[in-house]
Every structure is written in structure tokens, then in C-alpha cells.
Chain A
Amino acid sequence: DIQMTQSPASLSASVGDRVTITCRASQSISTYLNWYQQKPGKAPKLLMYTASTLQSGVPSRFSGSGSGTDFTLTISSLQPEDFATYYCQQSDSAPRTFGQGTKLEIK
């Protein structure tokens, strides 16, 4: 199985900050990397797929980059609605594993 490791596990930031979350795969996954946002009690929401393609309706302050084994999700200017948990997922091969999550909290 491909292991996905996110860092940091948690992050405190303020509205307006720029934040970056990192996801590392245990082997190359090309650009088959997806990012999700989850708020408490809700289903996850797709933010980004194939590492850098913004899902329809997602604000442009979200961006993604990377290929191979190292990927990043960046939020350019945090908004109050962005405080949530973020997960990466590889869709290169089954099982399509998720990272353990990064909880983004208000400072």
C-alpha cells in the first residue's frame, strides 16, 4: 500500500495568513493526488485533484502543487470558513489511501 504522510498534524493560524500543508507519498504517484476539506459533522469536500486542478466552485485562494512524492496545498489568505481539517488522498493505485489529516485552527 502507498502511505500518505501529511504535515503538520495541526496548525494554528489567523485570518489573512498564508498557510501551506504538505503531503508526502511513500512512492511516486505522478500527479494523482487529491485534497479534501472536512468540517465537523459534514462529509468531505473535494478541493483539488490531479495535484493542482481546482474543483469547480472552490475559491482561487486555494492552490496545489507537486508531483512524484511531494505535494503542497496552499491557502493564500485564510478566511474564517477555511478553518477545518484537510486530507490528501492518492488515486494512483488501490487502496486509494488518505493522509492522516491536518487540522487548521484559529489562532
Chain B
Amino acid sequence: QVQLVQSGAEVKKPGASVKVSCKASGYTFTSYDINWVRQATGQGLEWMGWMNPYSGRTVYAPKFQDRVTMTRDTSVSTAYMEVSSLRSEDTAVYYCARGLTRVAALDYWGQGTLVTVSS
């Protein structure tokens, strides 16, 4: 069965960076895009960007272009998302999600990783 398992919760200080991992299993990792979506407490979903695990190509939402880096390690079927220069408003649950080919709908999601930014 398809699973995306994310790394555990993080607490960071303002200005620091955080790197969240997303390990895929149950399918061919390089055959589907990985998207990242975040959700602040009590708020809606915010799409951050996607990565093609086969080529490594990335597309970021303009809001995150300067602070987010998406990478992957195909040998362990794992995607990573790093956010730098963290600020309090980055406190949120971060989700990875698999994108259906061609239609880009997000059919499987990780369990989410809470990142708390606090001094």
C-alpha cells in the first residue's frame, strides 16, 4: 500500500532552518511528483511547491521561492523540504503529498510534521 511517512515535530528559533523528510513506500518513487502543502493552526491549506523525483525538477510558489528548497534521495525513496530564515508565521503543519500524473491531484498524503518557530 502507498505510504508517505514524514519526520517528527520540530521546534526552531527564528532565523533558523528546518528540513522535513517524507519517505515513500508502496510505489515507484520516481514515477510521481511530490508536493508540499502547509497549514497553520486553524487556517486553510497553502501549496508550497512540487518536485519531480525522477529529474529533480522543482516548481515553487512565488511566496516561498527564496526560502524553500525541495530535494530527494532516490536511493531511499525520500523527499526533503528545507525552509530557511524561519519566522513565527512559518509555524504550521507541513504535509508532503503525491501528485497524480497529468492531473496533479494529491492522492496520498503524509501524516504531517508540526514545525514550531518560537524564541
Interface majority SS on A: helix, strand, loop or mixed? loop
- Contacting residues, chain A, for B61 (C-beta < 8 A): 94-95
B103: which of A1, A38, A91, A98 is its contact (CB, 8 Å)? A91
Q: Which residue of A lies closest to B112 (CB)?
A: A43
Query: CB-nearest residue of chain A relative to B62?
Result: A95
Say if the beta carbon of A46 comes within 8 Å of chain B.
Answer: yes
- CB neighbors of A among B94-119 (8 A): 95, 97, 100, 103-107, 109-112
Q: Does B47 contact A (CB under 8 A)?
A: yes
Determine the chain B residues whose CB is within 8 A of the CB of A55 once the complex forms.
Answer: 105, 107
Report whether B46 and A98 are in contact in the complex, using a CB–CB cutoff of 8 Å.
yes
B59: A residues at CB distance < 8 A = 94
Determine how close the nearest CB of chain A comes to the CB of B50; give it in whole angstroms.
8
Q: How far is the CA of A46 from the CA of B35 in the complex (A)?
A: 14
Task: Let me know if B95 and A87 touch, CB within 8 A.
Answer: no
Instruction: Pick the contact of A89: B47, B95, B112 (CB < 8 A).
Output: B47
**Which chain A residues numbered 45 to 80 have a C-beta less than 8 Å away from chain B?**
45-46, 49-50, 55
Residues of A within 8 A of B (CB): 1, 32, 34, 36, 38, 43-46, 49-50, 55, 87, 89, 91, 94-101
Q: Assess whether A32 is in contact with B47, with CB atoms less than 8 Å apart.
A: no
Do B62 and A1 touch (CB < 8 A)?
A: yes
| A91/B44 in contact, CB under 8 A | no
Interchain Cβ contacts under 8 Å between A and B, 7 examples: A34-B105, A38-B45, A43-B109, A46-B107, A95-B47, A98-B37, A99-B44
A67, B62: Cα distance in complex, Å = 26
Are A97 and B106 interface neighbours, CB within 8 A?
Answer: no
**Bound Cα distance from A82 to B70, whole angstroms:** 34
